[in-house]
Amino acid sequence: MIFEFIRLNIDITDEDFNAIYPQNISSLSPKHWTPVSVAKTASEFLAGMPGSRVLDIGSGAGKFCMVGAASTKGQFTGVEQRSDLVELSRKLCSSYDITNTRYIHANITSVDFRDFNAFYFFNPFFENVDLANRIDDRVQLDPRLYDTYSMHTVEQLAGLPLGVRLATYHSPFSIVPQSFRLVDDLYNGALHLWEKIF
């Protein structure tokens, strides 16, 4: 029913959506998972063109991709380092018959950005410098990795063609190359929508 409401553009609360998760995953939502309303807004921008292939960098429990896939016709891919979250995301998509998503268990440095033309970024590397709010201790966390992953992402985005779209949520502007133009600023400055112009 949750995804039918999303497909019909009927508002649902995050509490309702998060009920699809086990309690230990649901409890992480306020800090780590994108709110439903933000996910809908961002995915409508990112998947606003025919043939949109959206990459969620650090997809966690898959919430952004599932909401985006249910509310648009885009193809959504989540990349996540934690294998248990990847398996959970795949299982939920199968259970709810969400077919325009896929999840890959990988580090961002092994993903080819050229396979995508839109990107979502909810500050996934910040966990490396905010150890008090880490999801768990299953992956290596180190402040130096924040810089490594951030610089890699900037370099990859900078090398993409014109027209690529990017949505950043609670993320620093330093992750966005100068070749991207700010299109919109929403949710009291928490969500920024960008397009590559050179």
Quick one: tokens of 76?
């959504």
CA distance 82 to 77: 15
Comparing C-alpha atoms, which of 67, 52, 59 is closest to residue 11?
67
Average pLDDT, the chain: 96
Fold of 2-196: Rossmann fold (3.40.50)
> What is the secondary structure of 131-191 as a DSSP string?
GGG-S-SSS---HHHHHHHHHHHHHHHHTSPTT-EEEEES--GGGS-TTEEEEEEETTTTE
Contact 71, 44 (CB under 8 A): yes
CA distance 160 to 143: 27
Q: How many CB atoms lie within 10 A of CB 198?
A: 8
Domain ranges (residues) in the chain: 2-196
Contact 128, 146 (CB under 8 A): yes
**pLDDT attached to residue 131:** 84
For the cut 90, the answer to whether the pLDDT of residue 8 exceeds it is yes
For the cut 90, the answer to whether the pLDDT of residue 1 exceeds it is no
- Measuring CA to CA, how many Å separate 104 from each of 62, 165, 194? 11, 21, 25
Q: Which residue has the tokens 């190359």?
A: 177
pLDDT digits (tens, 9 = 90+) for 74-101: 999 999 999 999 999 999 999 999 999 9
Quick one: tokens of 1?
């029913």
For the cut 90, the answer to whether the pLDDT of residue 115 exceeds it is yes
Comparing C-alpha atoms, which of 109, 106, 100, 107 is closest to residue 77?
100
